[in-house]
Amino acid sequence: MLNRRHLIASTLASAALPHLAFAQSIEKPKLTIAVGGKNLFYYLPLTIAEQLGYFRDEGLDVTIVDFAGGSKALQAVVGGSADVVSGAFEHTVNMQFKGQPMRAFVLQGLAPQVVLGINPKTMPNYQSVADLRGKKIGVTAPGSSTNVMVNYVLAKAGIKSSEVSFVGVGAANGAVAAMRSGQIDAISNLDPVITLLQRSGDLKIVSDTRIVSEAEKVFGGPMPAACLYAPEPFVRANPGTVQALTNAIVRADRWIHSAGPGDVIKVVPESYLLGDRAIYIDGFLAAQKALSPDGMFPTAGAQTAYRALASVDPKIAAAKLDLDAVYTNEFVKKAHARKRG
């Protein structure tokens, strides 16, 4: 019964969207975007769009609220304190399963950019992923994309998520401190945190999805990462607003792929650098190719995300989901039709 209800709801949502006439007016010019770890390269297009005034150019007054992780950002939208999530794509699949349809409408990341690494101080004799059984693993926040990635890697090694302890450490200095102090035995996080820990010898990489080809090997296909997504009713009721948001992010995506590290350093807040410009530059160079150049979702992406979630959750594996309903490229296509830099 549960699966049937989800399938009917998602099918109706899927059928409704293609017939939308994209409005020229902006229905909700003042809105809030929730994000978990805004300083990460994972969400760099969001920061670029904000800092370079791309949202403002589209007639939007956007407030960005930063949380410890993507799952917390999602909670803000579900709870009504934010309108749109800048978060990991796989949440749209999970939310359809829960009967709360969300739709992603513009891509920021081609690959998850999540790195799993162990702490050389607490695990000096590490040999394989099997050694993580019974250990404390730091994630940005429980339930976030960093947690999903670890669950997937653990499952492939025959380890249940209940056999480890997950610790929320955020995505900035708190994550670095947790590793250096030995509070956690391993960490699943992103740049610039990963590059900083690696440079100081406080991290040994186990699995790295910053490289698109490596991410596809890990997940068995294209795995969309950061994107803007919102509840299905919001997308249907506010097509002009969604189009304006999409225009701004596509513009930021393009800017990033034509920019050099020096350009990025000038734009992002000083706090993003975590006290080391050289490491930030290295992190950007490592992440740049994993960021979307055009905002388009790969057609096989939803299936890859579903497989990743299904591998660790038997209930999702058994569910009948409409994966075409968790994203749309229609707004991005409209953005590309415009002549704008």
What pLDDT score does 193 carry?
93
| CATH T-level assignment (fold) for domain 2-111+223-337 | D-Maltodextrin-Binding Protein; domain 2 (3.40.190)
Q: Do domains 2-111+223-337 and 115-208 have the same CATH topology?
A: yes
- Asked if the model's pLDDT at residue 54 lies above 60, the reply is yes
Give whole-number Cα distances, 27 to 80, 97, 234, 243, in Å. 17, 29, 10, 11
| Confidence bin at 42 (pLDDT 50/70/90) | very high
The torsion of the CA quartet 135, 176, 42, 224, rounded to 10 degrees, works out to -10
**Structural domain spans, the chain:** 2-111+223-337, 115-208
| Global pTM value | 0.86
- Asked if the model's pLDDT at residue 9 lies above 90, the reply is no
Query: Which of 21-35, 36-50, 131-145, 201-215 has the weakest average pLDDT?
Result: 21-35
Q: What percent of the chain stands above pLDDT 70?
A: 92
- Asked if the model's pLDDT at residue 24 lies above 80, the reply is no
User: Could you read off the pLDDT of 287-309 as tens digits, one per residue?
Assistant: 999 999 999 999 999 999 999 99
Report the chain's mean pLDDT, rounded to a whole number: 91
d(CA 332, CA 248): 10
Is 115-208 in CATH node 3.30.470.10?
Answer: no
Residue with tokens 């075409």: 324
What pLDDT score does 4 carry?
40
Residue with tokens 């900083």: 196
- Asked if the model's pLDDT at residue 242 lies above 90, the reply is yes
What pLDDT score does 144 carry?
86
Pure H helices in the chain: 2-16, 44-51, 54-57, 70-79, 90-97, 145-156, 173-180, 193-199, 212-219, 232-237, 239-258, 261-267, 277-287, 301-310, 314-318, 330-337
- Is residue 303 within 8 A of residue 279, CB to CB? The reply is no
